[in-house]
Amino acid sequence: MALVEITDPNAPMIYNGIYHLFYQWSTSGAVWGDIVWAHATSTDLVNWNHHKIAMVPSEPFDIEGVWSGSATFIQGKPIIQYTGIIKSNQWNYQVQDMAVPKDLSDPYLVEWNKPIEYNPVIKPTDGINASAFRDPTTGWKGPDGIWRTTIGSKVGNNGVSFLFRSSDFIHWTKAEQPLHWAKDTGMWECPDFFPVAVDDKEGLDTSVLGPSVKHVFKVSLDDTKHDYYTIGTYNPETDKYTPDEGSIDNDSGLRFDYGKFYASKTFFDHGKKRRVLWGWANESSSVADDVKKGWAGLQAVPRTVWLEENGKQLKQWPVEEIEQLRTKRVSLRSQVLKGGSVLEVPGLTASQADVDVKFKLPKLKDVEIMDPSWVNPQLLCSSKPASVQGKSGPFGLLALASKNLEEQTAIFFRVFNHQNKYVVLMCSDQSRSSLEESNDKTTYGAFIDVDPHHDQTLSLRSLIDHSVVESYGVDGKAVILARVYPTLATDREAHLYVFNNGTGNVKMSSLKAWSMKKAEIKYLKDLKHSDS
């Protein structure tokens, strides 16, 4: 399979012990266009086998495009729902179609049928905007035995997720009221709706209800290209979802990732009782550079997600299987980093590494007073990059750094005092990531809710993989994925540093880092079983 543009993850699932990931794949080169469904399988979420294309535009109900969708298990059998684009006088006329495996005994589910007698299974009736009606999510079954699914759309400039019901997952009826909507949020793409346990890190099947269950509703905003989510309550009698008080229902709310991460989708891994998150990370390089290198886009490392103890947000962590790629380990002893310190982490393949560093939370009396106008974390990180000295911070990591620090991607914390409470800012500063001027060097940021009674340390874990710096702050309370293309700090010329550019001292409690080997990726020509 040629490497071209990869976008949305689609229909992730586990079937008979094998993980499946489908994704939007452009056959037009390293730019969006002529989308098909690519398909890969794995036994460990790390090493992958690519199969032949699973779905292409081929029938009247999808002849203009096979867009994103999800998988649902009906009596143990996977069914995919996806958005098909049909020929019409209206631009991008969208319907919802279904596909089923041709051979359930095939562990790789290589062949998929699109039943002509049923498709399309859902049409944009009742005044739905047919050009804004896409990305069906995983279905769930209510206490009445009826299946539900929800599909992203908009009414005017209000984002909306329409609800549909079915007794057989083939014949669908639109509900009078949507599952959820929010004012002035624009088109909702790739909705995801799933339960989380209130008092347990274990994941739940999508249909689980109960008093110890909350629900997460996530959408991808077409206007801003951000994913955001709320936590709330789902009433199965009225089929209404209501965000909790304080769960902000717009682009300034909670995100899975505050960097380059879009069109995300979760699935329930019943084998390990966890909910796993996939997301697409687009490029920071120019289109011309993408075309030159022959590819664009990637899937982020899959993450386990669960509800934090306080019930206000989700936490995330790379799936444990990623640790099998660790090789040589390097450790630094606990020490105080004085203001202006830059300490190299030696003996590491810094262009491909897993780094976990912990800093002691400074005393509240020793940190900078926060200006009440500092309400936007991304703007604050942009105005206070790693080069701007503060009282407590910036301190953290310099990843993919050149020897003389001309290039560096800084991931760091700043700590503030706001009305005698901690405010922790996490930043991923790309402003000096590359000497290539055409790259997108946006700086990203997030505020992290820190409870000094539980969070005695500020932990930072970064997965570094050449053009990817994926960072998890304070045990996964905030995640920022950056795409960077240094010109000097590449391969063996890349370095890793821990630093403190604050005026105050910071104690580094520990630092552990591993060089990482490559995951094993096999393409169609390498596979020994037949895909033909």
Active site residues: 8
CA distance 275 to 319: 10
CA distance 424 to 416: 6
In the block, tokens 């400074």 appear at 362
Spell 212-241 as b/e; 16+ CB within 10 A means b.
Answer: ebbbbbbbbbbeeebbbbbbbebeeeebbb
> What's the half-sphere exposure (Cβ side, CA atoms, 13 Å) at 114?
21
Please answer whether residues 273 and 267 qualify as being in contact, where contact means their C-beta atoms are separated by less than 8 angstroms: no
Report strand pairing: 326-332 vs 506-516: antiparallel
Beta strands of 198-333 (E only): which ranges?
213-221, 226-235, 240-243, 262-269, 274-281, 298-299, 303-307, 314-318, 326-332
Please answer whether residues 155 and 181 qualify as being in contact, where contact means their C-beta atoms are separated by less than 8 angstroms: yes
Q: Is 379 helix (H, G, I), strand (E, B) or coil?
A: helix
Please answer whether residues 13 and 45 qualify as being in contact, where contact means their C-beta atoms are separated by less than 8 angstroms: no
Beta strands of 419-501 (E only): which ranges?
421-429, 444-448, 457-465, 468-473, 478-483, 495-500
Local structure of residue 271 (DSSP, 8 states): T
The contacts of residue 89 (CB under 8 Å, 6+ apart) are: none
Q: How many residues does the chain have?
A: 532
Please answer whether residues 215 and 266 qualify as being in contact, where contact means their C-beta atoms are separated by less than 8 angstroms: no
CA distance 192 to 304: 15
Q: Is 257 helix (H, G, I), strand (E, B) or coil?
A: coil
In the numeric block, which tokens belong to residue 332?
A: 């630094």
Report strand pairing: 368-369 vs 409-418: parallel
Report strand pairing: 468-473 vs 368-369: unpaired
In the block, tokens 């897993």 appear at 354
Instruction: Name the nearest CA neighbour of 400 among 257, 290, 284, 311.
Output: 284
